[in-house]
Amino acid sequence: MINISLMGQLETADGERSLACEIEDAMPVKLLLQKQGRKLRQVTRLLREKKVMVTVNRRVASEDTQVYDGDEISLVAHDGMSTKGLGPSFYE
């Protein structure tokens, strides 16, 4: 199981700040997030735009970092994102 924590103003489409995912094989962070579908669609978009910082097991990482069962991922928005930029209208 991999735990994903969303920090700052990030949250899932359902308003959650953390989620757990089962994986069988190692995969890059970006693929793991894409596999979560609608739940993390906006977070995935911000990642593509380089507006999200990624850490894996408390170490700075990238969207291409391989993650394994038991890892912990933290994602935080950066680049001047504010509550206005990530408010309810953000998840249309």
The answer to whether residues 37 and 46 touch, using CB atoms and an 8 Å cutoff, is no
**8 vs 71: CA distance, rounded Å:** 20
Model confidence at 80, in pLDDT bands (50, 70, 90)? low
**89 vs 49: CA distance, rounded Å:** 18
Could you state, in order of their start, the residue ranges of all structural domains in the chain? 2-91
Superfamily of domain 2-91: Beta-grasp domain (3.10.20.30)
- Residue scoring higher pLDDT (83 or 36): 36
pTM across the whole model = 0.81
Of the chain, the percentage scoring pLDDT greater than 90 comes to 80
Q: What is the pLDDT of residue 8?
A: 87
Question: Stretch 51-63: mean pLDDT, rounded?
Answer: 96
* E-assigned strand segments in 1-92: 2-7, 18-21, 27-28, 52-56, 59-61, 66-67, 72-77
Q: pLDDT for 31-40, tens place per residue? A: 999 999 999 9
